[in-house]
Amino acid sequence: MTDVFLCPPRRSAIGRFGGTLASVRPDDLAAHIFKAVLEQAPELDPVAIDEVMMGSANQAGEDNRNVARMSALLAGL
pLDDT at 49: 84
34 assigned to some structural domain: yes
Q: Above 70 in pLDDT, residue 59? A: no
User: What does the pLDDT read at residue 60?
Assistant: 61
Which domain does 43 fall in, by range? 23-51+63-77
- Give the gyration radius of the chain's Cα atoms: 14
Check pLDDT > 60 for residue 63.
Answer: no
Residue 7 forms part of a structural domain: no
Asked if residue 76 is part of any domain, the answer here is yes
Question: What are 35-44's contacts with CB under 8 Å, separation 24+?
Answer: 35/75, 35/76, 36/10, 37/7, 37/8, 37/10, 38/75, 40/7, 40/8, 41/7, 44/5, 44/7
Give the pTM: 0.67
Query: Is residue 16 in a domain?
Result: no
Number of domains observed in the structure of the chain: 1
pLDDT of res. 47? 87
39-57: per-residue pLDDT in tens?
888 888 888 888 887 776 6
Q: Residue 58 — left, alpha, or beta (φ > 0 → left; ψ -120 to 50 → alpha)?
A: left
